Chains A and B, each alone.
Chain A
Amino acid sequence: MRLLCRPLLAAALSLGLLLPATAAAQQRPGARELPAARADRTQAPAPVGRVELQVMVVYATEAHSNVDPSLGKLAGYLRNLRYTGYELLSTQKASLSPDGRTSFNVDGGRKVEVTLLSRDERRARMRVEVSDKKGEKLLDTTLSVNRNGTFIVAGPRHKDGILVLPLTATY
């Protein structure tokens, strides 16, 4: 396991957040929706207002150890990955109302499409789809993030490293 240092991997495992291959297989396209997921959707709050989405496109590499200051405190978390250098390639923003959809073009012909499903005072619920240059879907997830919170999609290859895509939902 090259990506993570041991203590952090242990932490991830202890939190039960590292998905095993079997779980991932169950969640591939066409997999049946979990009852819990359906229940959450029925309890979703009424959509109000808009959400500002920001996607940063960050190139992570082992070729150098420079870290873009634009990453701010985020850099501290990214250092948990095996990469040493983090270069901000672009920052893209969009304003979405509930049921609104937007697409961010990412280096390498990839796309990140975000659909805002709903938001309330505390959380924004959205669907995030990442596709490659051929249009094939690499990732399809539905999640909720806390107000003004950030989550990261990482892994698409870029040059000798990967792309790291922090997504922030501000409102």
Chain B
Amino acid sequence: MPLTRQEHLELLATDGLADAAALAALPGFDVAAARRPGRLLADALAAPAGLELADGVLAALGIADPGAGLLGEALRADAPELADGVLAALGIADPGAGLLGEALRADAPELADDVLAALGIADPGAGLLGEALRADAPELADDVLAALGIADARVDLRGALHAGPAPALWDAVAADLGIEADPDALPGWPADADLVRAALVDPRGAPDVAGPVMARLGLERPVRRAAPRSYGFAGVALAAAAALLLVFTRPLAPLSEAGLALQLSPINQVEIEELSASEGAMVQVLQFDENAPTIIFIEDLGGDAEGATL
């Protein structure tokens, strides 16, 4: 439901936010609806892998307890190396950080439902989701589609989340909010990609994103509970992409040409039923701690065996 003039004035009176008028003047703006994406995002972030990020990101948006932290602090404290990935998710740059499918496949396939729901692409009419999933993460396609109840999805996931993630995110969030305006028209929206990139990536290689990013988002002041009415919907689109990358993107440390970094599961348990070795070798099974990967070591007993000698 759009804000009435009176509600608009009350908003200004209670929040004291300079650009509340611009927000409230947007056609179809719905304060009540503005809180829903926050809950969706919170639900997504509340999944186990993202739990440690939820408070910081949501607080930065004013969706959760403002005392929990700011977006910048969350980035700096939890994953400063993800700056490029966050930018990519926002459609600001294309550093090749990876696709959603790859991230889902490698890191946390069990979170696919929550992420897709938070992005608002659970609508069966959204598009060729199935095709995109099969292209990017074929092993997840059936499970994700089944969970979403989508028989004939039609969304280009790659296009929505890689080539143009911010607009796609914005559409979903704006639809939920009942907002028709372009986000670039909103105060505080980071329209200048170069400025944001410069703010996020410190020349010394140690990103300190707190101040600049908060300033660009208009969140340089301590966030109060009333703030989401003003900044929440613009921030939700930003944070949904940022949170997605914070949760799913692998570290951007330099890697060899042979492949991406192994995403080692915290639990690695093996049960060996049968084990045999060649005549000239013996096999030892090594376990260095409870959840460490089991090592099956081929030991050379001499002769022509190819195993190593202990």
Contacts and interface: CB of A to CB of B under 8 A. Distances in A.
B277 A28 contact: yes
A34 B281 CA distance: 21
A155 B293 contact: no
Contacts of A41: 273
A73 B291 CA distance: 12
Contacts of B296: 139, 141, 151-154
B272 A143 contact: yes
Contacts, number: 220
Contacts of B267: 146, 149
Given A91-B259, A138-B307, A37 B273 contact: yes
Interface string B237-276: 0000000000000000111101111111101111111111
Interface in B24-45: none
Interface string A61-88: 0000000111111100100110000011
Interface residues of B, number: 55
A150 B262 contact: yes
Contacts of B289: 11
B298 A155 contact: yes
B304 to A, nearest CB: 9
A85 to B, nearest CB: 13
Interface in A132-171: 132, 136-146, 148-157, 161-162, 166, 168, 170-171
A114 interface: no
A11 B288 contact: yes
Q: Which residue of A4, A18, A33, A138 has the most chain B CB atoms within 10 A of its CB atom? A: A138
A166 B308 contact: no
Nearest to B292: A77
Contacts of B287: 11-12, 15, 17
A144 B273 contact: yes
A50 B263 CA distance: 19
Contacts of A34: 273-274
Nearest to A88: B258
Interface residues of A, number: 78
Nearest to A18: B284
B254 to A, nearest CB: 6
A77 B262 CA distance: 13
A99 to B, nearest CB: 17
Given A1-B310, A50-B139, A80-B288, A72 B106 contact: no
Given A11-B288, A17-B286, A148 B265 contact: yes
A52 B293 CA distance: 17
Contacts of A156: 298, 306-308
Contacts of B299: 155
Nearest to B294: A151
Given A12-B288, A146-B268, A77 B293 contact: yes
Contacts of B295: 77, 81, 151-154
Contacts of B255: 69-70
B283 interface: yes
A148 B310 CA distance: 30
A71 to B, nearest CB: 6
Interface in A70-123: 70-74, 77, 80-81, 87-91, 95, 108, 110, 123
Given A141-B275, A154-B298, A146 B269 contact: yes
A74 B262 contact: yes
B306 A138 contact: yes
B260 A138 contact: no
23 contacts: A8-B288, A12-B287, A18-B284, A24-B282, A27-B283, A37-B274, A49-B142, A69-B253, A72-B261, A77-B295, A130-B298, A136-B278, A138-B306, A139-B276, A139-B278, A143-B273, A144-B273, A145-B270, A146-B265, A149-B293, A153-B295, A154-B308, A162-B308
Given A21-B282, A148-B265, 18 more contacts: A17-B287, A24-B283, A28-B276, A28-B279, A31-B276, A50-B138, A69-B254, A69-B261, A70-B255, A70-B259, A73-B262, A141-B274, A143-B270, A144-B273, A146-B267, A152-B296, A157-B307, A170-B109
